[in-house]
Amino acid sequence: MGTPPVPVVHHPACRLHDPGAGHPERPERIDAVLGALRTPDLAGQVAWHEARPATREQLERVHPAQYLNGLEQVAHAGGGALDADTVLSRASWEAALAAAGVASGAVECGLASGRAFGATRPPGHHALAARAMGFCLINNVVVAARQGQQLGAARVLIVDWDVHHGNGTQALVERDPTIRYVSMHQYPWYPGTGAEDERGVGNVFNVPRPPGLERRRYVQDLLAAVDAARAGWRPDLLLVSAGFDSLAGDPLGGFTLEPDDIATWTRALRERVAPSPVVGLLEGGYRLDLLAAGVRAHVRALA
């Protein structure tokens, strides 16, 4: 008996969000991700699932209705800039619903099969309850966490290895002891949050690190924080905010990681929380070849 394939959840509308020419968070990112997972050598290791768009009920577990209505109205009016680097196009609301639906669908697949990957775009971990920022509109990983809890996974661990701190994720969960959040990120760097003394209700474990350290330090320090978060607390579900801008050479970060390190992390996380499921959700990653290589390493390690 071979290992069952990894569910990869996607939606074609994730490509429709278009922040404009020259923007790093461009539609080609999702093409690179899906293309990397459609190669012949992965054919038996991946099972494709098209998501349903998120429902209002799923979104309103995380974001107030007034905020969601505002995003929808701006998009339907043709789009516009929400801040210096977060831009809506006419189809961005459709893409945001699709991305949050991919996140929820990945959790459903993960709870059924033990692991899954969701190709979420636009990314989500900077989105606050009522504010879009940092390319992010809906906080996909928190939507996913709440979906997991609805389906019986009472305790959720979120591990964020994007090179930027997930300020939105932290703000949304830092008063909730049922969710623990571990983030390793370049510091000081955008968005300026994520100091080590930001602890929430004892459920936030930040690992701020400078750029340019040797790879091994980043790998070990993130896993040490995961071990601290798990001390005396067993998660029913582990979600990865899988940002591939932490790889060496990404234009928006200065970490030194290689795709092998992504695989090392993925395997180590699976071992640490087994038999609880591990579900990866796409965050950043802005150099297409690195993004593709990182996603392949992550999904192969999930397999």
Residues taking part in catalysis? 126
CA distance 294 to 285: 9
Asked whether 59 and 103 are in contact (CB, 8 A), the reply is: no
CA distance 122 to 16: 9
Of 283, 173, 188, 287, which Cα lies nearest the Cα of 235?
A: 173
CA distance 209 to 255: 9
Phi-psi label, residue 89: left if phi above 0, alpha if psi -120 to 50, beta otherwise: beta
Angle at CA of residue 155, ends 150 and 156, nearest 5°: 85
Q: Count the Cβ atoms, other than its own, within 10 Å of residue 224.
A: 14
